[in-house]
Amino acid sequence: MKKGIIITLIIVFLLIAIGLIACNLPRANASVTILNPISGQAIPAFLEYQITSQIKPEGNWSRIELYINGELTRLDTPDTNPGTFGLILQPWIPTEEGPTMVEVKLYQRGNAPAATAQVAVIVKIMEEQEIPPTPNLTTPTPAATPTGTTTPPACSMSAALLQDLSIPDGTILKPGQQFTKTWRVQNNGTCDWENYKLVFVRGSLLGGNSPSLLPKVSAGSTLDISLELFAPSYQGEYSGHWQIQSDKGSLIGPELHYTIRIPAPTATNTATATATATPTATATATPSPTATATFTATPTATATATPSPTATVTFTATPTATATATPSPTATATFTPTATVTATPTQTLTPTATATATATATATPTPTPTSTTTTITPPPDESISTPTITPTQTLPPVPTQAPPDTIQVKEDFKLDAGKTQTFTVSCEEVDGLAISGGYSIDGDVTLVGSRPAKNGWEVTLTSHTKARKTVSVYANCLLAFSGKVQTTHTEMTVEGKSVANLKLGCQIAGKVVGGGFDLTKSPELVITESRLVGKEWMISVVNESRNKQTFDAYAQCLAGSGLPSLVIRNDNVRIPAGESIVVEMNCGVTPISGGFQAPVGLTFLAIQPTSNGWTFEVENETQRQLIFRPQTVCVGPSLQRDQQVK
């Protein structure tokens, strides 16, 4: 009996040991592949980069770890980052330049990785025009089995410059002047241009947007390509070179260039002031036993100069005269001063002229009355009465600009039962500029689009009930800003069963402050990201169907002087399974826009601006906990002035 018990315990022990060993052995069919970046790729330092990995099988994993140069940087689980179609995105911000090893380890169960993948990249500081666009990722498909059909020859990619339509080389422009450069090019190859771009090659960027997506151009057709540029603030000659880039990344055709000149300033400021004073005194005495006349004259001329030079001229003339006359009991003294002040060109000086003349007449009577008149004219002192003053030029003070503020405009609408309708709120009534917006709905309504409209915000919604619904639409309006708002718009096609990322920048010199999207053409798409990343607005979409889908993406840009500095605030919020949560992101200062990153399975019931931040209401429709990453963009503590791009 005891022997049987011992044998049973040994068997149980062996089974447990085998099970533990099996749990720690990697699965032979597990694999992980790093799709982005690729080995040898240059990665911009100090900007968020998405490490994209593909895992197989899709759902059979416990965690995935990201290592940078052997150090664990990030750990994700199916609860925190479930991925889509086996694609896992792990954000990383490189902070050290040089060769860098990126390693991803996939775990199924136990402490041993089931699969690993590595790529070697170069991290370096890049100029804005050097930063490569984020590639569009699609799920790899099995290679097609070769058949006996003949493969048609590949088409050729080529471009030709037909005409320089504006701003000839050597054009003289004013400092800071905005201008449009246009070239007429022809697709003289046999390939259609689709998803082709205009990219900056070298020289002076002048605020141009690189890369700029070009519209589709059929083989043999022509296209006018325009760039919105800004002249620098300083004198000199500036040239820039651009080129067309194919969807494969190849540069085709000739370089498209511009050359402008900014002349040297010719400012002259000369001021001359002249002051002249000529006092004249006349004394007349008739016989009297003794007659004495004493007089004092004090003329004053005052002029005020603004803002800068102030000059004071003071002079004193003291004439004394003695006259002897025949008897006469009357004495008359006459004094005539003259002061003239002339200022050229616009400066006014402050001369003060004082003239004092004293005359004494003494008369001794004689039998024969006679009359003597004495006229006294003191000689002017030229060194005092005629000064010439050249003032020092003083620059006017730079006016301070108050930080911009925002005001939220809300309007309620009635959404008809079973209909898809579009509602717009404008910033015109508050004399503001629309930079972002939002909405508030309930669970029976689906968001189709949230995007900028003509100085307002536009939201498209679909009702799934048989009753009318009340929905709220918001516009966030910027006040006290002297510049302007411009909208960047692009259309993108997403392959079936794939994930696509799109970054939008400003077409001219400016700053991205918000963005939006429109899924009207393909409501089956799912937006998983719409937020500010670096200097661009990032839109990420998931296409769960097998067919190509198209959507529209937008970015709002501020352009002009006194652009506000921005502060981006991100957060991570856990949303329990089957629950809805309201998340409030407070700026403490002026709110600019709101964004998010969310996995598939989260439904947005509200994304709306408030007076001091942004509010999100999200609902988790899955049976597992999900991670929601809200974002708010706020005005920074100070205003920054435009900088010249050289």
> Poorest-confidence range of 200-204, 337-341, 574-578?
337-341
Q: Residue 63 has what pLDDT?
A: 86
Q: Which residue has the tokens 């449009």?
A: 180
Question: For position 460, which CATH number holds?
Answer: 2.60.120.690
- Rounded Cα–Cα distance for residues 585 and 379 (Å): 83
Q: What is the mean pLDDT of residues 539-560?
A: 91
Summarised one tens digit per residue, pLDDT across range 618-633 is 999 888 888 899 999 9
Shared domain for 116 and 211, answered yes or no, is: no
Query: Which long-range contacts does 575-579 make (Cβ < 8 Å, 24+ apart)?
Result: 575/602, 575/618, 575/619, 575/620, 575/625, 575/626, 575/627, 575/628, 576/620, 576/625, 577/620, 577/622, 577/623, 577/624, 577/625, 577/626, 578/620, 578/621, 578/622, 578/623, 579/619, 579/620
Residue 94 near residue 46, CB atoms below 8 Å: yes
Does any domain span residue 88? yes
pLDDT given at position 610? 94
Q: Number of helices (H) and strands (E), helices first, in the chain?
A: 2, 42
Residue 443 within any structural domain of the chain: yes
Cα separation, 331 vs 321, whole angstroms: 13
Residues 181 and 85 in one domain: no
- pLDDT surpassing 50 at residue 261: yes
Q: Do 94 and 239 belong together in one domain? A: no
Residue 329 lies in a domain: no
User: Which pLDDT belongs to residue 640?
Assistant: 33
Residue 158 near residue 192, CB atoms below 8 Å: no
The amino acid at residue 604 is: F
Let me know if residue 304 belongs to a domain. Answer: no
Number of independent structural domains in the chain: 3
Do 420 and 538 share a structural domain? yes
Q: What is the mean pLDDT of the chain?
A: 75
pLDDT value of position 20: 59
Lay out the sheet containing 280-285: strands in order across: 331-336, 280-285, 372-376
Question: Which of 80, 110, 126 is the last residue in one of the domains?
Answer: 126
Among 238, 262, 286, give the residue marking a domain's end.
262
- Mean pLDDT across the stretch 597-607? 92
111 & 165 share domain: no
Does a structural domain hold residue 527? yes
Same domain, 120 and 174: no
Domain limits at 110?
23-126
Question: Residue 133: its pLDDT value, please?
Answer: 60
CA 315 to chain centre: 60
Q: Are residues 171 and 81 in the same domain?
A: no
Predicted confidence (pLDDT) per residue in 102-112, tens digit? 999 988 877 78
CATH number at residue 63: 2.60.40.10
Strands 498-504 and 536-543: antiparallel
CB atoms within 10 A of CB 120: 14
Instruction: Let me know if residue 596 belongs to a domain.
Output: yes
Q: Is pLDDT larger for residue 201 or for residue 517?
A: 517
Are 443 and 586 found together in one domain?
Answer: yes
* Contacting residues for 53 by C-beta, under 8 A, at least 6 apart: 32, 33, 34, 35, 64, 87, 88, 90, 104, 106, 117
pLDDT at 378 over 80: no
Read off the amino acid at residue 13. F
CA–CA distance, 395 with 398 (Å, rounded to integer): 9
In the predicted structure, residue 141 carries a pLDDT above the cut 60: no
526 has pLDDT over 80: yes
The residue-averaged pLDDT of 48-59 equals 82
| Shared-domain flag, residues 489 and 633 | yes
Q: Check whether residue 534 and residue 605 sit in a common domain.
A: yes
* 167 and 107 co-located in one domain: no
What is the rounded average pLDDT of the residues 190-196? 91
Given a cut of 90, whether residue 475 has pLDDT beyond it is yes
pLDDT at 21: 57
From 244, 262, 280, the end of a domain falls on 262
410 and 458 both lie in a single domain? yes
Give the residue with greater pLDDT, 638 vs 232. Answer: 232
> Is 521 within the bounds of a domain?
yes
Contacts of 56 (CB under 8 A, 6+ apart): 29, 30, 31, 32, 86
Query: Which of 185, 238, 243 is closest to 211 using CA atoms?
Result: 243
- The 3-state DSSP class for residue 20 equals helix
Residue 323 lies in a domain: no
Candidate from 46-60, 153-167, 388-402, 443-457 with smallest mean pLDDT: 388-402
Q: What is the pTM of this model?
A: 0.45
